[in-house]
Structure formats: structure tokens, C-alpha cells
Structure 1
Amino acid sequence: MWNDHGIARGDLTDEQWARLEAVLPPLPRMGRKPRDRRQCFDGIWWRARTGSPWRDVPERYRPWETAYTLFRRWQIDGTWAAVLKKLKVKADAAGHIEWEVSVDSTVCRAHPACGRGPQKGASGPGGTAPEGLEAEPADHAIGRSRGGLTTKIHLAVDSSFHALATVITAGQRGDAPAFTEV
């Protein structure tokens, strides 16, 4: 479980943390002592790897509420997307991204409950989203095709199969019109 350097299996290495820390936003100045962000990130990473509930994040990563609060706040304000973009730019500059891009799509059948429309108490399509999140489109990218209610996922990947772009459309949409957007 622990390696020779006192790092748990799966935790960020010193080199990985140095790369990540360089693109993180500065800590807010709030009069209290700054938290150990690496420990918190390892907790978020542990949860993402295992798929476990937040409450099951081990104590060595701080209280689970701390990791969840940071994860959710940065999800809402777009920090995660900005960090990923900065990491991709640095990886590209270092020659780690090969720009041989493959674009393809697949169709996913929607759950039968998707055809019932908004339920009592739901805001429904085009409703207001929580602050900081984009509202869902009116059609929720669900459309009618020969297979029934379907959604199409268009994905661009590099030669190492790292996702570069994703576009979700209704199932009956063609691949060619989505290619430009992908």
C-alpha cells in the first residue's frame, strides 16, 4: 500500500504534483493557514480512481468534506477545465501530444424513462441550472432514430487515445455536420 517514499499506491508522485501545482490557481488569502492541497488532491484522485462515495475517502486525505468542497467548487467555477487546458498546452509544448487525430462517433440508446418528459417538481428542458453550470439544451441531446430514443457521442482522440474533444448530439444527427464542431 505504501512505497519507499511514504506515498500510498496511486497517489501523485513528486514529479506529477510539481507539474500540477504549477498550473493551479493561487490559494485565496483568507487569514487562516493554507491547507495541504496535495493531500486534498490525492483524496480527489483516490475517489476518481475507485468510484467510491465521498464519505469513503480515507482519513489520510483529510476529511472527505474538504476534498468534496474543493472538487465541487472548482467544477462549478470552471477551474478544472482551465487546469486541464493548461496541462494540455504544456504537454503539447513538450511534445507529449501527437496530433494524429481520430474522430468517430457512437450511438447510445437512451433509457426508456427519458421519453416521459419532465416529472413533477423537475425544472425540465431549458430550465435554470445551478449557478456556474451551463443549462441543459432543450432536447438534452436525445433524439429519435431507427433505434428509438438515442444520443450520439462524437469523440476526437490523439494517437495515445487521450480524449481531445467530445460533442454530444441527438441520435439522428449526422457525423459530418458534427465533425467541424469536434
Structure 2
Amino acid sequence: MATLAVTGRADLTGAQWAVLERLLPRGRKPVRPVTWTKRQLIDGIRWRARAGAPWRDVPPAYGPWQTVYGLFRRWQRDGTWRSILTALQGRADAAGLITWDVSVDSTVARAHQHAAGARKRGDLQAEPPGGLEAEPADHGLGRSRGGLTTKVHLACEQGQKPLSVVITAGQRGDSPQFRVVLE
């Protein structure tokens, strides 16, 4: 029985890659030959985010899941994703693609039952949480009437493109987070 290809359908186009490639950090020259291109790895990260699958289920065409996750996590910790997003938003704003009538809202999501098993002290983890910014003490999880929950605060422009996301514990109020999400 033939298998259905899960790669390629929503991968970056040549034009999208041309724009994104200019925004990527320039690292030192690799010591070993490159087996997986940045484009393949980024497509793997995009596939995982779109599918909502575990990292281990990233298709092999994008590279080993450990390599895909490693790039994602490294760039998350050093702020690369944030700088790419900021640059893309600046580019869209310069092209007049962002309407600056901003809407802010939030929603509560119930945490998975396994979320309750996280270590109380992040410094005891093999790889401590965070990166450029300190991880909050509650890691975006808190107790509310619904149990263990997370609240997602989102600012988006009128073209329905997200501008900013802040994640807090579920019991946090919306008003105190208004300024944070706008900044």
C-alpha cells in the first residue's frame, strides 16, 4: 500500500525562502559538511507547528527530529525567532500590509493532565527553561475554576494577523496583561 506524502504541501515557496533567508543569523562556518539545510529544518519546524504532532513524529524528509528540535530550541532561547518575527512585521508594515487598528483578547485553555508533572524548580531540569527572558515561576500554568489552565493573550491587527502573544497562568486577569501584550 502506498503511503501519503506528508511533506511539501505547505513547505516554504522559493519566494518565501528568499525573504526569510536574508533574516537568518549568520553563524560560523560549520566544521562538518551540512547534511540538512536550514530550509529543510525550518520546514520541519513549520510542519510540526502546523500538525501539532510530537517532535518525534516529524517526517524524516526534514531531518532527524532531534536536529529539527535542536534548531527550534536554540533559536527560541537566543531570541532568533523573535528577531525574525520583528523583521517580518517591519517589512509588512513598510509595504502597508498591517492595519494598525489593534484588537486585544484572551482565551483560557485547559492544560493537559501531564502538565501537572513538571518540576517545581526549573533549575533542577536537565535544560533549564527560558532563554533571553526569565521563565515565570508558574510557567504559564495556574489554578482556576476549571482546574490547571493557561491563558493566551493576543493582539492582532484588523487583517487578522497576530502581532503579539503573551501566555500567563489561567487565573491571571486580562486588564493587567493589556499593556504587556501591546508592548
TM-score normalised according to structure 2 size = 0.71
Native 8 Å contact 1:43 1:67 kept in 2? yes
Corresponding residue for residue 154 of structure 2: 155
Q: CA offset at residue 13 of structure 1?
A: 0.4
Larger Cα Rg: Structure 1 or Structure 2?
1
Q: CA offset at residue 77 of structure 1?
A: 1.5
1:115-159 residue CA offsets vs partner (Å, 9 max, x unmatched): x9x88xx34489883463644434555667676776543321111
Q: CA offset at residue 108 of structure 1?
A: 4.7
Corresponding residue for residue 176 of structure 1: 175
Q: CA offset at residue 52 of structure 1?
A: 2.6
Secondary structure in 1 matching 2:9: coil
Corresponding residue for residue 63 of structure 1: 64
State the alpha-carbon separation in 2 of the partners of residues 63 and 144 from structure 1. Answer: 37
State the alpha-carbon separation in 2 of the partners of residues 109 and 8 from structure 1. Answer: 32
| Matched residues, number | 174
- RMSD, matched Cα: 3.5
Corresponding residue for residue 93 of structure 1: 94
State the alpha-carbon separation in 2 of the partners of residues 126 and 63 from structure 1. Answer: 28
Corresponding residue for residue 29 of structure 2: 29
1:28-55 residue CA offsets vs partner (Å, 9 max, x unmatched): 2233344522122222222222223333
Secondary structure in 1 matching 2:166: strand
Secondary structure in 2 matching 1:105: strand
Gaps of 5+ in 1: none
TM-score normalised according to structure 1 size = 0.72
Secondary structure in 1 matching 2:99: coil
Gaps of 5+ in 2: none
The one-letter amino acid paired with 2:161 is H
